[in-house]
Structure 1
Amino acid sequence: MGGDHGVKQETTKTTPPRPILAVCLNPALDMTYSVARLLHGNSHRVGHPLVRAGGKGVNVARVLQQLDQPVRLLGFAGGPDGKSCTQDLKAGGLPSRLVPIAESTRRTVAVVDAADATVFNETGPTISASEWAAFMEAFRHEAAASRWIVLSGSVPPGVPPIAYQQLISAAHTVGARCIIDTEGIPLRKSLAANPDLAKPNVHEAAALFGRPLRGIPEIRQAAVELRQLGAKTVAISAGSTGTVLVSEDGAWHAKPQRRYQGNPTGAGDALTASIASGLNRDLDWPTLLREATATATAAVVAKTAGEIDEATRHKAMADIVIEEI
């Protein structure tokens, strides 16, 4: 080929894929305790907690790393707990840029027993106007080097309610595309910026519309309405009921044929990460949904949020039923 076009072969270079940017506005130092059975009002003896950097965006970045996708993490960090998060991310080899803040990074506590997980989430530090301005500057730089951006999790105090709307608009300005995974006012306001994909869970979508969503037809209708509000594609996750995705190309429902026991805390984040991976590889929607549902299943059986069990993911891939609806 080089000879045909007068270009020396040794000067030909392959452009490396652009990383997926995972944004975590409210990271946390996650502490996970394991007990045989959680009993309300009782005292529980526990071993050493598993302590690591967390938050929805961090969980997404960790799963993308396990899926062999190029990824970078952008967030805030402050105080001793912020320092612990920074050290943990560095030890895990996750490329990160954490904007320094005056107040301390929050903590979350998860108590996991054989049946389920109970999670306690602190609100988070208050972000000053100057800290938010520094974050926006860092975001513009990172977005320019990214093809897909995942914006997930809660918005800490001090950050404007239209934060995600601002970030999506800034990303679109430099040609990057965005996945939004949040709830409440931040989700509603983000839709005005036309995110490329919105991924609420069924409870978040129900809260947004002020009505229960029972069954696949009602979940599908909610996804249609989210598209009407501005999202280009919508995926609504509903636990063991599966995930409904509606795009301009059609609508699908993906569901595992059997239920897996474990810690469901990070399953939604794993689903979001796999969706980003599939979009970054230009997969068709049914294939992307199959991979994403299997990845979420693999997160349930993993020990902690931000991890997937690869053997379970491989087994579950053949266990997913994809139905056009």
Structure 2
Amino acid sequence: MTPPSHRLIVTVTPNPAVDMTYHLDGLHPGRTHRVSPPLERAGGKGLNVARVAHQMGHPVIAVAPVGGAAGAVFRTELEASGIPHRLIPVTADTRRSIAFVDSGHDVTSIFNEHGPALGALGWQALNSAIAETLDGPGRLGTPDCGVLVGSGSLPADAPDDFYSELVRLAHSRGVPAVIDTSGPQMLAAARAGADLLKPNLEELMEATGQTDLCQAARHLMDLGARMVLVSTGADGMSAFTARSPGSVWKARLPRPLAGNPTGAGDAAVAAAAVVMASGRRDPEQILRAATAWSAAAVLMPAAGEISPRHTELAQQLIVTYEENPA
């Protein structure tokens, strides 16, 4: 049996992208800018999760559909990175995500292309690959699967039950499911009993129709989610658990960090996945790791990596616990 600290993290990215990150000293609408060539990486939220967990020394397999010229760039970069992966060939061109990091004004602008339709055969191939990946570990000395992570947006033709079925698939193998998505898919994943949902504050309010953070998180737990981890920007993160639905854990740094926030949420998911893959479910432990890794991601030039300062940042966290907050 695989030791808990070495269990595999399987990430699923149904709508991957080639991430292109430009750095400039000022972004001025309507004007011409001269920039250095972008940093190009295989991306999408699940890929970023796998990249961070891999950087931190944890076994991962990243599953994603790729196709076209951008898909070839995606595959080449991912192979060079050394991150274990299972890429499913599809006819649709992989999309691109372009980030302009304006260091002069400490702001990042992101342009995400819509994901192309995968088609019936593409979805069938992706679903089969996910199931085979979950069933594959444990053989020939490879690690047992410790957690399944589903992250990101969906292409236009995605099944309405994609993420809820991902949760059910994980549970049928005795594996916890961590889901980071938005809108109706988040609600469906909650109804399926997701072990952890990771929205940001805007996504949470939009999906639930609530205006209060605690009430919105409770709504997801009433539907069936077991834990909700919410990014709240400069205010840090909040964690809620169905075992104590009237309480909230909160963590933040003494002061906000300047940098590139595009991969902060994915780093938080990676931290949560690492903790949960080891068999631990303590909300405070998950919150502390997620907040520190999220902050450490802000200090890096591109999504999918965290600063070595994550340990230092973890020691600076201000963590509070509230029962039945108003």
TM-score with structure 1 setting the length: 0.91
1:238-288, Cα deviation, whole Å (9 max, x unpaired): 111111111134431111112110000110000111011111234432222
Letter in 1 for 2:261: P
Give the Cα–Cα distance (whole angstroms) in 2 for the partners of residues 246 and 271 of structure 1: 15
- Give, in whole Å, the separation in 2 of the partners of 1:107 and 1:175: 35
| Worse overlay, 247-256 or 44-53 | 247-256
Partner residue, 2:140:
none
Paired amino acid for 1:238 = T
8 Å Cα contact 2:64/2:86 also seen in 1: yes
Q: CA deviation at 1:209?
A: 2.2
Q: CA–CA distance in 2 between the matches of 1:41 and 1:161? A: 39
How far apart in 1 are the matches of 2:14 and 2:238? 26
Per-residue CA distance 1:149-170 (angstroms, 9 max, x = gap): 1100001122212111111111
Tell me the residue number matched to 1:215.
none
Show the counterpart of 1:186.
185
> In the comparison of the two structures, how many residue pairs are matched?
307
- Aligned alpha-carbon RMSD (Å): 1.5
**1:299 corresponding residue in structure 2:** 297
Q: Is the 8 A contact 1:220 1:244 kept in 2?
A: no
Alignment-derived partner of residue 82 in structure 2: 93
Query: Offset of 1:299 from its aligned partner?
Result: 0.3
Asked which structure has the greater CA Rg, the reply is 1
User: How far apart are the structure 2 equivalents of 1:280 and 1:257?
Assistant: 29
Shift of 1:227: 0.3
Q: Give, in whole Å, the separation in 1 of the partners of 2:3 and 2:207.
A: 42
Q: Which stretch of the first structure deviates more once superposed, 248-257 or 178-187?
A: 248-257
Q: Deviations over 1:19-61 (max 9, x none)?
A: 1101100110111111101112221110111111111011111
**Could you tell me which amino acid in structure 2 is paired with residue 155 of structure 1?**
L
Instruction: Give distance in 2, aligned partners of 1:22 and 1:31.
Output: 21
- Cα displacement (A) at 1:175: 1.2
1:81-106 per-position Cα deviation (integer Å, ceiling 9, x unaligned): 11111111111100000111001100
Q: Aligned equivalents of 2:75 and 2:317: distance in 1?
A: 37
**Could you tell me how far apart the structure 2 residues matched to 1:47 and 1:235 are?**
37
Q: What is the percent sequence identity of the aligned residues?
A: 39
**Structure 2 residue matching 1:147: 3-state secondary structure:** strand
In the alignment, which residue of structure 2 is the partner of 1:36? 25
Deviation at 1:188, TM superposition (A): 1.8
Give 1:274's aligned amino acid.
A
Counterpart of 2:168 in structure 1 is: 169
Q: Which residue of 1 aligns with 2:146?
A: 147
Aligned to 1:120: 111
Q: SS at 2:177's partner residue?
A: strand
Structure 1 distance, partners of 2:49, 2:231, is 15
Confirm or deny: 8 A CA contact 2:240 2:283 kept in the other structure: no
CA distance in 2, matches of 1:265, 1:281: 27
- Are the aligned partners of 1:168 and 1:190 in contact in 2 as well (CA < 8 Å)? yes
* Distance of 1:50 and 1:287 partners within structure 2: 33
Q: Which residue is equivalent to 2:142?
A: none
Asked if residue 322 in structure 1 is aligned to residue 319 in structure 2, the reply is: yes
1:239 maps to a residue whose letter is G
Per-residue CA deviation, residues 163-210 of structure 1 (Å, 9 max, x unaligned), is 111111112111111001000122122222111111111000011123
Runs of 5+ unmatched residues, structure 2:
138-144
Q: Distance in 1 between matches of 2:101 and 2:150?
A: 27
Task: Determine the C-alpha separation between the residues in 2 that align with 1:274 and 1:259.
Answer: 20
Give the drift of 1:63: 0.6
> CA 1:14/1:184 → structure 2, altered by over 3 Å: closer, same or farther?
closer
